[in-house]
A and B are shown apart, each in its own frame.
Chain A
Amino acid sequence: MQTEEVNLKELAEKALRKSAQYGEDFELEKFEVPKAAEPIKDLSKLDEESRKTLLRVGVVPDEKGRVGSLVMMDNTISHTSLRDENLELMSTQKALEKHEWLKDYSWKLVPVDTDKYTAKSYLENADGYFVRALPGKKAAFPIQTCLMLGSKKVSQTVHNIVIVEEGAELDIITGCTTKKGVEEGLHLGISEMYVKKGATLNFTMIHNWDKKIGVRPRTVIRVEEGGTFISNYICLKPVRSVQSYPTVRLEGKGAVTRLSTIAIAHTGSELDLGSRAIFNAPGTRAELISRTITTGGKIIARGEMIGNAKGAKGHLECRGLVLSETGSQRAIPILEANVDDIELTHEAAVGKIARDQVEYLMARGLSEDEAVGMIVRGFLDVGIRGIPEELRGEIEDTITKTALGM
């Protein structure tokens, strides 16, 4: 074993009991390591229930409009298919075997000792998806990946690496979900993404878990000069607890990022969702937008922008609606400027739907429920204007049902 690996292993072992800074503390011992899952040859031959499950998180079983697919069931990569030679898509472990150089990307953005979840994922040698767009290439359609919890009371550990080489453009749709009947479990997901010079990564992630699932993503993105990272995160269904705080490091001149979050906290759900941009190079830009609704659950919307380089410009916007007596919304925006010539702003608002808005629509003949539905859809819509069109239907449907308490 190389010294570096030994060091990381030591760090991880020491961190195995280290609680995360935020969110409910899950006892890892209470969850089993899943057994190997069966491979899936053809996604379109899955049973109807499974196909529906995939569709609900934007993963199309017949792969129409997608250049490639990867499905991870528990801790097994059970399906991989790719129809574009300008891309690479395989399991992270296979990629590490194939590319000697990939070790310089693995566990280089997310520290193994961040907390016990990263430590466990490292020590289990977690697998996941590896996606790479070759220099200057643009995929015609998105790649889709699905991370599915397939067994009860297990902890799924995932390690994803995405590299968009210089001048390349890539869209990824990732759906995270549970197989029907798997009510309880833990999902730990490490994602390290590299957007190189002049490259663009458009990343859409849809979470559709279940009432007793704990979710701990740990994501860091590095954007080089002139690169663009766009993220849309959508979490509309009940879940026990999601705590995530993806960090975008803008390391090259003129790098740009835009992170949007839309989420609904149902009764019993706790969503601690943040996003962070670190401006480490001149002329970098970031926009962090969050639109959240509680129908009885707890939401903490964090946002942080740290300006370390001149000419950086960022805007943070957290808006939260409270649609029930019991839910709670907390917005925590943090702005930090460490040099001059920086412009960071924020806007935060939490509260109920304005009565004058509801009545304005009612005066056009809409019932109160229809009016509230339209306002809520519009409220969340602002946060997802960048997502692929075909995902809209399901999302808008869920939003309407939630708004009307259906």
Chain B
Amino acid sequence: MLKIENLTVEVAGKILLRDINLEVGKGHTNVLFGPNGAGKSALMRTIMGFSGYKVVSGRILFKGEDITELSVDERARKGIGIMMQRPPDMAGVRLRELVRAASGEKMDPEVLARALDMGRFLDRDVNVGFSGGEIKRSELLQLAAQGPDFYLLDEPESGVDLVSIEQVGTMIRGMLCAGIECAGERYEKGKSALIITHTGQVLDYVQADKGYILCNGMVMCSGNPLELLSEIKKRGYEECVRCKLKR
């Protein structure tokens, strides 16, 4: 689904990501771990094509096509959707209007919102005065309307209270695998995702296939996500850097 080859990215004249190689197969859910400032969000924003993230070398392939030079909306229309960690306040733009537009005017925001228990948010200005949990649910509602093939989820559990984590986690699982429990079937029929997580809480809700550890803008390691997570919890990210240097 997504393949990143030797990607180096510059932001404001400074190299932020260096020689990244990463892959997410069809129906797979891969996870990105890393300390603050490692470049995880920068990688997602580069995949989405946001301005300010300049690809110096390497390329991004999506469904086999090189999308490195495509605009944000072209990428979205090809099937990439992002859940941002800190989306901008959109004063005057009502969630109802955005949800309708995101679905290509095809879906009734009312019906979608009811399914996600978001009805009372529809007439509010997007993100204005939203709590942490409300932002996540609003992002997911927009994604549900958009219906992408590939999800970029930037810290879905950050700033969310425990009750909401359950809600957000369940919503994400629903979107990615729509009730499919078997991994084999998921690879055929499910959606793909790349998820940034600090705490790993979201892994209680989704089946992750592969994990990557990003430090200082470089991929340190990859492997079984749950094993990586327990290593990180035990020894911290410093160990990852040391380990990489040894290799």
Contact of A364 with B125 at beta-carbon distance under 8 Å, contacts A356-B88, A359-B50, A378-B91 already known: no
Judge if B72 is at the interface, Cβ distance under 8 Å: yes
Tell me which residues across on chain A come within 8 A of B91, comparing CB atoms: 378-379, 382
Judge if A82 is at the interface, Cβ distance under 8 Å: no
Contact B72 A362 (CB under 8 A): yes
Q: How far is the CA of A102 from the CA of B77 in the complex (A)?
A: 65
Listed A/B pairs (5) with beta-carbon separation below 8 Å: A362-B76, A370-B101, A377-B92, A378-B97, A378-B125
Judge if A393 is at the interface, Cβ distance under 8 Å: no
A357: min CB distance to chain B, Å: 5
Judge if A406 is at the interface, Cβ distance under 8 Å: no
Tell me which residues across on chain B come within 8 A of A361, comparing CB atoms: 90, 93, 98, 101
Judge if B48 is at the interface, Cβ distance under 8 Å: yes
B67: min CB distance to chain A, Å: 13
Q: Which residue in chain A gives the minimum CB-CB distance to B51?
A: A355
Judge if B2 is at the interface, Cβ distance under 8 Å: no
Judge if A84 is at the interface, Cβ distance under 8 Å: no
Counting chain B CB atoms within 10 Å of each CB, the highest count among A356, A363, A379, A380 belongs to: A363
Interface residues in A351-406 by Cβ distance below 8 A to B read 354-357, 359-368, 370-371, 374-375, 377-382
Contact B76 A363 (CB under 8 A): yes
Interface residues on A, range: 20 to 34
Judge if B104 is at the interface, Cβ distance under 8 Å: yes
Q: Which residue in chain B gives the minimum CB-CB distance to A378?
A: B92
Which residue of the partner chain, among A354, A362, A380, contacts B92 with CB atoms under 8 Å?
A380
Interface residues in B66-81 by Cβ distance below 8 A to A read 71-73, 75-77, 81
Contact B90 A360 (CB under 8 A): yes
Contact of A364 with B92 at beta-carbon distance under 8 Å, contacts A359-B51, A359-B72 already known: no
Q: Which residue in chain B gives the minimum CB-CB distance to A357?
A: B88
Q: Which residue in chain A gives the minimum CB-CB distance to B50?
A: A359
Q: Which residue in chain A gives the minimum CB-CB distance to B89?
A: A357
Q: Which residue in chain B gives the minimum CB-CB distance to A376?
A: B92
Judge if B197 is at the interface, Cβ distance under 8 Å: no
Contact B101 A366 (CB under 8 A): yes
Judge if B102 is at the interface, Cβ distance under 8 Å: yes
Interface residues in B36-93 by Cβ distance below 8 A to A read 48, 50-51, 71-73, 75-77, 81-82, 84, 87-88, 90-93
Tell me which residues across on chain B come within 8 A of A364, comparing CB atoms: 76, 81, 98, 101-102, 142, 145-146
Tell me which residues across on chain B come within 8 A of A363, comparing CB atoms: 48, 50, 72-73, 75-76, 81-82, 84
Interface residues in A43-62 by Cβ distance below 8 A to B read none
Contact B71 A365 (CB under 8 A): no
Q: How far is the CA of A374 from the CA of B126 in the complex (A)?
A: 12
Interface string of B87-112 (1 = CB under 8 A from A): 11011111001100110100000000
Q: How far is the CA of A164 from the CA of B230 in the complex (A)?
A: 73
Contact A365 B98 (CB under 8 A): no
Tell me which residues across on chain A come within 8 A of B145, comparing CB atoms: 364
Which residue of the partner chain, among B73, B75, B88, contacts A367 with CB atoms under 8 Å?
B73
Contact of A379 with B88 at beta-carbon distance under 8 Å, contacts A363-B81, A374-B97 already known: no
Q: How far is the CA of A364 from the CA of B73 in the complex (A)?
A: 7
A370: min CB distance to chain B, Å: 7
Tell me which residues across on chain B come within 8 A of A362, comparing CB atoms: 71-73, 76
Q: How far is the CA of A361 from the CA of B48 in the complex (A)?
A: 12
Tell me which residues across on chain B come within 8 A of A375, comparing CB atoms: 90, 92-93
